[in-house]
Structure 1
Amino acid sequence: MAVHGAPPKRKEIYKYEAPWPLYSMNWSVRPDKRFRLALGSFVEEYNNKVQIVSLDEDTSEFSAKSTFDHPYPTTKIMWIPDSKGVFPDLLATSGDYLRVWRAGEPDTRLECVLNNVG
């Protein structure tokens, strides 16, 4: 039974099928980029991928906004903790090194590679 004037009920379960097996993922907390996550592939070789997907709230579907190459699988992915949306849109990945990326649509670019050489 529909209640007049009530907003339509939203879908509660969403699905996204990545093009490869996943090894890591992390949700973004930016208020201007709701329902966005980064997904890291697990391919048993050097060439892996990271994909940024977000939910289109009008169609209730996740879609890829950016995909970029990553050497080795990402053991961890983390967005900059930015609940106010005031910092650059950064994403960090670890694998062989720690890498910092600037997220963009459609291009995400590498900002820096950090490695501990002693």
Structure 2
Amino acid sequence: MSLHGKRKEIYKYEAPWMVYAMNWSVRPDKRFRLALGSFVEEYNNKVQLVGLDEESSEFICRNTFDHPYPTTKLMWIPDTKGVYPDLLATSGDYLRVWRVGETETRSSDPPASAS
């Protein structure tokens, strides 16, 4: 294999805040995607979704959304075939499930039942 065909082997990404939790996505249609949770000692924290831009060989931020309290754990839906909705679970003060879209990420929690 020539030097021109080789890919970069070490990639770097600097988050805008201290990272507390992270997890790799395993979807085949969203290769090299990582969720990063912030650690800010206050209520307002963030989750950032970064992906590898294979043309520039750099990780870039694809989406950022607000998260109450730091995320203690992040986990993508274990979807190795890419057939399920693109979901991300986070824990902090309680478990939340997020539906990830191309331009936005929104909570997929069901509405509170009227009782």
TM-score (norm 1): 0.89
Larger radius of gyration: 1
Q: Which residue of 2 aligns with 1:69?
A: 66
Question: Once the 2 structures are TM-superposed, how far is the Cα of residue 106 of structure 1 from its aligned partner?
Answer: 2.2
Picking from 9, 13, 25, the partner of 1:12 is 9
Q: Equivalent residue for 1:116?
A: none
C-alpha distance in 2 between matches for 1:77 and 1:105? 19
Cα offset for 1:104?
1.6
Q: Which residue of 2 aligns with 1:23?
A: 20
Moved more, 6-15 or 85-94: 6-15
Q: CA RMSD in A?
A: 1.5
**Structure 2 counterpart of 1:104, one-letter code:** G
Asked if 1:102 corresponds to 2:99, the answer is: yes
Structure 1 segments (4+ residues) deviating >6 Å:
none
Take 2:100 and 2:29, find their aligned partners in 1: how far apart are those partners? 13
Number of residue pairs aligned between Structure 1 and Structure 2: 110
Q: Which residue of 2 aligns with 1:47?
A: 44
Query: Alignment identity in percent?
Result: 76
Q: Is 1:57–2:54 an aligned residue pair?
A: yes
Is residue 2:78 matched to residue 1:92? Answer: no
Q: Name stretches of at least 5 consecutive residues in structure 1 with no aligned partner.
A: 114-118
In 2, Cα distance between equivalents of 1:105 and 1:49: 18
